Chains A and B, each alone.
Chain A
Amino acid sequence: MRGWLLHHRKAAGQAVRRLAATPVSTLLGALVVGIALALPAGGKMLLTNFQSFAQHMAATPQLSVFMATEAGKKEASDVESRLRRHAQVREVRPVPREETLQRFKTSESLGNVIASLPRNPFPDAFIVVPRNEVPATLEAMRADFAKYPGVEHVQLDSAWVKKLDALLRLTRLAITLLAAVLGMALIAITFNTIRLQILTQGAEIEVSRLLGATDAFIHRPFYYFGALQGLAGGVVAWLAVLGATLLLRGPVAELASLYGIDFFLHVLPLADSALLLGLAALLGWLGAWLSLWRHLLD
């Protein structure tokens, strides 16, 4: 047992020394692997965020009732009172057009554009929370509200949530496929690095064999090398995703607030981070295994 641990410590140390001996190629290798992994990892981060957002939305289906822009205050208050009297309505939140205008005016990027418009482009609106979430009832409510005088458009928010959900499922599949393809790229990169390592260490491998080294003894440092390179790539990918998250957080929150949504971009969760690093190391190990199998077992 002690001998086994000793061998592993030696092999790990040897792998670290070989990586440190060629810092530039080690760094470039980690960057290549890191960038390849950053794409699916970043996709996963966005997906996780939008998924939790979609779930949050789906939990409280709403109807948005928009008045025509030329409708007056009188019609708006009539519609509001009819909405409040409706048997299926639990809550009505009016969104006056002046308030919407104000909210957009304070936005950095859109403020100027909005201010330059000759008149308020936004209509009065109401957000209606229904008493139950049966799709047929919601559909019936939408049809009712659309007939109210001065109402231009009624949007059933659960419909777009469903569409969003379908879109997210599709995105998830795309990210999984992307991860599979780039995972294979990682294996190919490690395969090639290990092949070069085997060529460089040719003399050492030959002498070790003659002195009674087992295959396991000879292969072990290469496994560590592959796994460490993968892990280094995983760390690069994780840092890239973290950086992107922090950079995007402000602008995304601002955009969301314009829609009256409180949205905070979260960093990659701990489980996903662990999965990313573990998978990167595992794929590096796998690339090393393939390379050793191809180049050392005669």
Chain B
Amino acid sequence: MQLKVKAGGIRRQLIAASCALLGAAEGRAQEAQTSDAGTAAAPGLTLDSALGYYQESGGRIRAIEPIVTVQQVQDNGDIWGLNLTFDSLSGSSPNGALTSNKPQTFATPSGASLKGVPQTYTTASGQSQTVNAPIYSVAAGTLPVDSNYKDQRLAGALSWNHSLSRLTSLTLGGKLSYEHDFISGSFSALVAHDFNQKNTTLSLGVNGEFDSLHPIGGAPAPGTDYALFQKTGAKTKQGAGVVLGLTQVMAPRWVSEFNLSADRFSGYLDDPYKIISVLDATGATTGYLYEKRPDSRLRRSAYLENRWGWERASVALSLRYMNDDWQVHSSTAQFRVRFWNSPKDRYLEPTVRWYQQSAAQFYAPWLSSSAAQLTYASADSRLAALSAWTYGLKYAVKYGDDSDASELSVRLELYRQTQADRLAAPPALQGLNLYPGLQALMLQIGWRY
């Protein structure tokens, strides 16, 4: 078996297959776009890897994430791919409660009481269990976070790319992801067909996902009083999606892709670790509720990507519009420019991304104690009206003498998120920073062979 093949544009075909590994559907058009000489990828093995480090400001979430993708081109042209991803997360995670002018006490997810004494409770299966009910406190004027947050994820994916005919290809993929409180399995199938002398590619992809949730301490009953710790055992959610894509070579230096996609998820869509503060008219905290979201969500999106190339530079511009039946509307624009040096063995790639979303219909930073019965509510800042900017820079060096050379790269990104549509603070909370926003830094080292 050959470890690496330089001929035949293997990298281009492998991108199509790797998209299935990483959950993407857009790799379908690569052959149509680039098959100038009708060459097929030669048999061989390639490796693509990255190590990411992510850190949020204020000691919040920190993540380390290595990814490895190995792809094998068979003698018959089929491509098999294997992807392994590992995440290790730790730090402080906001629990959804609002910053207060007084100290606040919470139980960790495994807790069953707001008192720091051992508690005995009955599980969903009828067994009696005693826990230490660990608690934590946050100071007045401080965003409530659980500083003991820890999570690890291991995910593996397998893909198979097969040519059904000279113009039609099929890509199948499957993925399993494991966390101690979350297990997910998904599959995808995508058919792509070339037209118009391979200037146009139409594709249709479908995917399905089944998730099993095993929250620490049990899954809270949505919308119930936090102090009562009404929890049950495991929960599930499932979803299915479809992506319709059109890729068009516009000109010798311009390619465009347009995707329409929709998916629907149903089941337990709540974040089991998020609560919401209940305040009286003065702003004093009178209690907390577990958040409660609808049990289904339908999302639709339109995505457009354009790429233009010159001798020593290229530009990628992508636009996305998404909405869902939770009334979240979002717009995204991302702009990348790649500058090559003269021998084309190094490049510099600045990136800027802008994102904006409206709030989910049921988002509320807090609830009023005088409000009517709760229908749906979440104080999860991810469902708030917000905007975000990402600034990034990538530098890469290629080793080798053709387009399939090995590549070593380093990438740095700064992410800054600001919450919009802020409600006026109640009297007791005036002057407090109720909407702290988020800043994060991401460093990634990549190696391709």
Partners in one complex: no
| B residues adjacent to A (C-beta < 8 A) | none
